[in-house]
Amino acid sequence: MAAPLTDLEKRKQISIRGIVGVENVAELKKATPRDYYFALAHTVRDHLVGRWIRTQQFYYETDPKRVYYLSLEFYMGRTLQNTMINLGLQNACDEAIYQLGLDMEDLEEMEEDAGLGNGGLGRLAACFLDSMATLGLAAYGYGIRYEYGIFNQKIKEGWQVEEADDWLRHGNPWEKARPEYMLPVHFYGRVEESKEGARWVDTQVVLAMPYDTPIPGYMNNTVNTMRLWSARAPNDFNLKDFNVGDYIQAVLDRNLAENISRVLYPNDNFFEGKALRLKQEYFVVAATLQDIIRRFKISKKGSTGPVSFDSFPEKVAIQLNDTHPAMAIPELMRVFVDVEKLDWDTAWAITKRTFAYTNHTVLPEALERWPVGLLETLLPRHLQIIYRINQGHLDGIRALFPGDLERIRRMSLIEEDGGKRVNMAHLCIVGSHAVNGVAEIHSNIIKNDVFREFSELEPDKFQNKTNGITPRRWLLLCNPGLAELIAEAIGEEYVKDLSQLQKLNELVNDDAFIRDVSNVKQDNKVKFSQYLEKEYKVNINLSSMFDVHVKRIHEYKRQLLNCLHIITMYNRIKKNPKAPFVPRTVIIGGKAAPGYHMAKKIIKLITAVGHVVNKDPVVGSKLKVIYLENYRVSLAEKVIPATDLSEQISTAGTEASGTGNMKFMLNGALTIGTMDGANVEMAEEVGEENMFIFGMRVEDVAEMDVQGYDAVPYYNSIPELKQAVDQIQGGFFSPKQPELFKDVTNMLFNHDRFKVFADYEGYIKCQEKVSQLYQNPKEWTQMAIKNIAASGKFSSDRTITDYATEVWGVEPTDLKIPPPNEPRKALEETARVLTEK
């Protein structure tokens, strides 16, 4: 009797027979939804592979300048639907699945999110990969294949509880292990000086195993690569030295090496100076640079004669996504000087022309400052190199500002106060030819404030690159109804040129179009309500305004301000139950870093307030509060299209850009927000009168910092604020534990860096305007259309085009690589045409 089929064999059979045509129905009846998901994934993947190989052949033939995007985070979400859309396979797959009597959405729900990021920074990297492929750039994403991604959040009795995200437990059909490109990475050891130069010896070796994921461009046959490294212990790990006697223990200790790629650090906008995190940062950088140099050496143009690195910056651009991969700068210097035997000045000139650095935050607690002692132990040669880079940097400053010791102290790569530390942002600025912020207001703060003295030294180095989002995932995939409506109105070209959405302005007064946009929004609300009712057992009022605040939980993002508004609305209903009230469903979601106690207390407060509001019969269907559990990419794809009002209410000058704001705008929500991050440019594009802008501006915040912020006068002079705060403080929302939120109110009164009370009154008044407009559905929808029409600037295609031309020195192309079914001659001909261009 034949052995029973393994899961993988079963899935492959379904893949071959089930999608193409069913033969053995009895066999298929045993298949689970997960089997069908894998079958479909393998089928779709087969369509990718030929294009993937073709793209890499094409790059070998044309030898373009390559762009390397280095990031410790890639928040990819799910891959199946995005791949079907970008390859133009969605209709064919939908039809095949329907023929099998299956539901495509059920299969899509089987896929785990690839949650290899915390929030904005990691999701930006994912959007950028999509745009780089769509724009035909020879680009590679490099990062870490974390075994455990961002934790799964459970809300238990109102508190966040973390669970491990074992996202690989069923296997990942989208990755391909490449053991043939495995590389050694060194740690610890010591530096030996000799006539030939420095040698880093007696190191511990960890192997970096690459896993490749294909990144398809939109309908252009380009498939780029995201290469993520996994840590492996070498076979002689711990067996070649002292403890050979304990063979079992030596094998068990392999885990120590392999822990490097075990888990994503779950901090957003916060630096935790742990040795394991520094190991992760160096691990990705060391493996990646070896790979980049290997590819440079074997490239078509470089493969004749002896290797010269003079052309390296003409062939390689490396973008550092924040300071997390900053060790790439001393590592490239180490390789050039110690291994390739370049002289220091030549190596430094090449290095600076190769790197560019993106800054993502101005919050001081987020800036990476590694203790010198830790670097000395873990990466002794790199510390020497950093000292030498600093020496040259400070010599230059001394020459320009003789005797200005304070300036030298401020601008040094090494901070002396409170233990010696390496300021990684300073290292990135000094080691790069371009530095950018991620929205105009943020880039100005960097230039004129945080790194002012560096920008005075090299003003041309500092740029702005306003963030963007990919319209493929954040419109076509998540909101097909709206995407189709837009295509019927202005054609399909907007998908690759989002600026064409401006044409929708001609339809702002078209009654039929207004009705259609409104209907799409209502359909999305119905669908999301069904999800909420299933998951949370709540009744949703479909005529209520869906007021949504989803992002990481952080004091600067001011979920507390929203919470105060909820309490204020509740109190108004209770005070006058008969008064007209515009009903709202307030949806708040997001994860708090596990060690961030205030953020976790804020979640508990919101859920406690929701508990009181939701079960009060006087309130009824007028106001509901829902805490959205385990907010992640796949949940964002559900909630964003259903949103009426988007909350973007950070204290001015704290949110570098934000990208959720852009996703809501593109999907026809209106924004209530401060003049912070990209909100400023959104208001520029659509007109301030088409957003709900409130609160202090950056200048007001700065002035208040000079005078000193005092919360008490606001509390004493605004009765509704006082009532809400007293309720929190007095245990109204936690009757069994009246003291529960004392530390929250204590913070709001005594050390609120983000000035919640100062913006309360403006926020409440602005929310009244929101409610007023919501009562006029036609005007509301017209404003939504204006927002959609103005969102073109916020495509990541535009952002990447700006990076390509202004930082990387490469040109986007709309050239279509010949598909795999065309002969290789077609590929060579396309390559020839491009090369001649």
Active site residues: 360, 551-552, 557, 659, 663
Which amino acid makes up residue 460? D
Distance of alpha carbon 599 from its chain centroid, rounded? 20
Q: What is the dihedral of CA 27, 32, 35, 39, to 10 degrees?
A: 70
Rg (CA), the chain: 28
DSSP SS3 for 357: strand
DSSP SS3 for 190: strand
Phi/psi for 223 (5° steps) reads -130, 110
Q: How would DSSP label each residue in 369-382?
A: EEEHHHHHHH-HHH
Helices (H), 655-696: 660-666, 679-686
Phi/psi for 530 (5° steps) reads -60, -40
Q: How would DSSP label each residue in 691-716?
A: SEE-S--HHHHHHHHHH---SHHHHH
Q: Which two tokens stand for residue 699?
A: 């200048």
How far is residue 317's CA from residue 137's CA, in Å, rounded to a whole number? 12
Residue (of 201, 197, 199) closest to 344 by Cα position: 197
Residue whose pair of structure tokens reads 């935050």 in the numeric block? 361
Phi/psi for 436 (5° steps) reads -135, 150
Distance of alpha carbon 520 from its chain centroid, rounded? 28
Q: How would DSSP label each residue in 753-765?
A: TT-HHHHHHHHHH
DSSP SS3 for 320: strand
The CA distances from residue 325 to 131, 182, 358, 359, 365, in Å, are: 22, 20, 11, 12, 18
User: H-helix or E-strand containing 384?
Assistant: helix 380-400
8 A C-beta contact, residue 632 and residue 78: no
Q: Which two tokens stand for residue 812?
A: 């986007």
Judged by phi (left if over 0) then psi (alpha if -120 to 50, else beta), residue 305 lies in left
Angle between helix axes 80-87 and 90-99 (nearest 10 degrees) is 120
DSSP SS3 for 403: coil
Angle between helix axes 120-134 and 796-803 (nearest 10 degrees) is 80
Q: Which two tokens stand for residue 709?
A: 């912020």
First to last CA, the chain: 63
Which amino acid makes up residue 343? D
Write the CB contacts of 692 (distance below 8 Å, at least 6 apart in sequence). 670, 671, 672, 673, 766, 767, 769, 770
Full 3-state SS string of 606-652: HHHHHHHHHCCCCCCCCEEEEEECCCCHHHHHHHHHHCCEEEECCCC
Which amino acid makes up residue 252? L
> What is the DSSP-derived secondary structure letter of residue 148?
B
The CA distances from residue 182 to 209, 211, 320, 595, 666, in Å, are: 5, 10, 23, 35, 42
> Percent helix, strand and coil across the chain, each rounded to 5?
55, 15, 30
8 A C-beta contact, residue 661 and residue 646: yes
Question: What does DSSP say about strands 190-194 and 197-201: parallel, antiparallel, or unpaired?
Answer: antiparallel
